[in-house]
A and B are shown apart, each in its own frame.
Chain A
């Protein structure tokens, strides 16, 4: 195959000691910034752009790719250990991962997320190598109508996180809608819910909300119960890494997560969050131990979303490399780095810059290996964080949350928001409201709104477009099935009394 020989050439480029060094620097730096809430790969690469004046393009892109993949790995670590997601794509990881950590399986959660990231990253990179043209053609078929239907499907996933009461879960979801709408309305340029505060015009950062509700809220909650006789000591149970059972529960979620993450990541408006929601929902449905979800923490709920998140990172690179389409902030910054070398990324990039492109792709494979090698031994070190006495641990978490929030924008507005949301998170926790629907509502609500309105404008108010476009109709049908299917299934099988056999995964 032609791609194979090109790839071999790419490895020859990427494996020079110099470029390997860049890969190592990039992955390390990426892991570090992924850990910090608020500081993402896009901003880091933007700040490192001046490097492009000093090193050759291949080295720079290998560095950037390392940062990008590294950040996806790093973001999960703090989600699992401290319930403080470093990236919006790892918010879902925090849900089960932190529960696992609390029940003594932090090592396994970290391991499944690292290995899952490796598997997904590698499969995703293979997707870039062999499937890029096909995937991108499929991705471009997605117009506003299809995106809206995809969001509708994604809303089904709320059902997996509603908790004990639909009323409280939905209240959380609507709070998320509200938070997501704050800022300038993208379609008409009008300010919504900004109370005249200029800083709010650009909207509320979902990371601030997640860290506020999860980490700050948790801190307040734990403090309020501190003397209730239930001092929290987190035990470490069993082996540091994964047990045989945990392996067998992880590998399918890794593959399913990858299958969701890669194509959705490749879609121009797909993003990394939606596949993690979908993956979480799928894993909860297919798990043999659904009772572990939301209680002691289910490993599938970490393995799937983590894989989805890393596969989507690979997916994002597909339109960037094949068409020169920057579909995420990180990709946009990387494109501007291309430009500062006088390289114009576009549909002809593979032809005009083969050494660079294939060197970059090869370095993605290497970055994945480097990250796995880097992360697995660190797990032993990371889990010790949980042994820090609670007062210092929580003090550290709050300082840490402040760094990410204040560090980037230096705006007290964000900090106030963070703390107010912490207060809301505390009340929600105490009165048994789930917090995850807030995040889902905040991300999906405005996205669905935008795509719906776009579709209506483009099609001149003809709402049948959602049903007449085959792809859109298919997605809506899947959504209906996903919502009603399990109930019908239950009805059908109730007579037989025996539960259904394990249903094999999608895709």
Chain B
């Protein structure tokens, strides 16, 4: 009885308001996308970008997006695993945040129960400080943390989320006691940003895109990014270059329901690969400041398992997992 949990996406809204894009008759049938988060967030935007590109490239006929928000995906996943089993052409959009949320919320349902299809995008995180800050480099900040981490309040997103995890990794790499890390969680990106602009915290961690404009305007100073290598157009070193051996992507990917057949898996992998290769997809990535880090099939499954172990270890250090 899952049909009723549907937010029929784009089409319905557009058509009523009188500017329906003519529905192209398509060879491939309907794709069903499950988003375990509210409309508007990162996973939802990913799902909508997938729909847009796949339809534009005529890889599918229509797509239906179903949102089941709650607890970082921990509310949606049991439904996907339980009720979406045996659905053909169905995929869930999720990512690193869910891995963390499942561990922290002690979810009985695991991401490993699904069938990983592909990792699509990653967003590296950025470490920034207010323009007035005495920290000029990531090393300055880490040194201050080594001296007394509790005097370096760092703002970011929700407790246990990717921003918090990155701080935990930085602390670990620098040898700081995790319980000393002074992390100040904010509900929305905007509020953390306001705390930084108001010079109320020492530093901030979030997706690079959230800070990009403020950095350009000179209101924040970008110390380092969590990517594996320097990024074009971004004037900042990686954390590794700054002497902190940490690398983190807030990745997002797609998963098929549990027990998907080999054949079904192949169909979906090739569908996603075709999409990722299109110029329309590259265009979307650029527009949204996402980095394409495609990884499919078994390699992806292995990656998810590794991430799970890595994040669980960090959350344990931070005291968010038993």
Interface residues of A, Cβ cutoff 8 Å to B = 25, 42-43, 45-51, 53-55, 139-144, 184-189, 191, 198-199, 201-202, 268-269, 319, 323-327, 329, 331-333, 336, 339-340, 342, 344-348, 409-410, 454, 457-458, 460
Contacts and interface: CB of A to CB of B under 8 A. Distances in A.
A342 B287 contact: yes
Interface in B160-217: 160, 182, 184-185, 187-191, 193-195, 197-198, 200-201, 209, 212-214, 216-217
B70 A50 contact: no
Contacts of A47: 7, 13, 39
B23 interface: no
25 contacts: A43-B39, A46-B39, A47-B7, A48-B17, A50-B52, A53-B52, A139-B194, A185-B159, A189-B158, A189-B160, A198-B70, A199-B70, A202-B71, A319-B194, A325-B190, A325-B193, A326-B190, A327-B194, A332-B40, A336-B45, A340-B287, A344-B213, A347-B213, A410-B4, A457-B184
A144 B194 CA distance: 11
B13 A51 contact: yes
Given A202-B70, A333-B40, A458-B182, 9 more contacts: A45-B40, A46-B44, A140-B194, A140-B198, A324-B213, A347-B217, A348-B217, A409-B69, A458-B200
Contacts of A45: 40
Contacts of A53: 10, 52
Nearest to A143: B200
A389 to B, nearest CB: 32
B158 A458 contact: no
Given A189-B320, A319-B194, A457 B182 contact: yes
Given A143-B200, A188-B159, A460 B188 contact: no
Q: Is the interface of A mostly helix, strand, loop or mixed?
A: helix
Nearest to B74: A198
A143 B158 CA distance: 18
A339 to B, nearest CB: 6
Interface of B: 4-5, 7, 9-10, 13-14, 17, 19, 21, 38-40, 44-45, 48, 52, 68-71, 74-75, 78, 104-105, 107, 150-151, 153, 158-160, 182, 184-185, 187-191, 193-195, 197-198, 200-201, 209, 212-214, 216-217, 219, 287-288, 320
Nearest to B191: A268
A43 B44 CA distance: 12
A115 B164 CA distance: 46
Contact of B13 (A50, A186, A340): A50
Contact of A54 (B9, B21, B40, B48): B21
Contacts of A140: 194, 197-198
Contacts of B216: 346, 348
Nearest to B7: A47
B9 to A, nearest CB: 7
A345 B193 CA distance: 13
A6 to B, nearest CB: 20
Nearest to B283: A342
A54 B68 CA distance: 26
B19 A54 contact: yes
Nearest to B10: A50
Give the 4 A-B CB pairs with smallest separation, nearest first.
A346-B213, A189-B159, A50-B10, A268-B194
B190 A198 contact: no
Nearest to A29: B17
B273 to A, nearest CB: 24
A201 B71 contact: yes
A347 B78 CA distance: 42
A150 to B, nearest CB: 14
Nearest to B21: A54
B213 A42 contact: no
A168 B109 CA distance: 43
B105 A198 contact: yes
B198 to A, nearest CB: 4
A49 B7 CA distance: 13
A51 B320 contact: no
Given A25-B17, A47-B7, A42 B71 contact: no
B182 A49 contact: no
A346 B189 CA distance: 13
A143 B5 CA distance: 40
B6 to A, nearest CB: 9
Contacts of B185: 186-187, 189
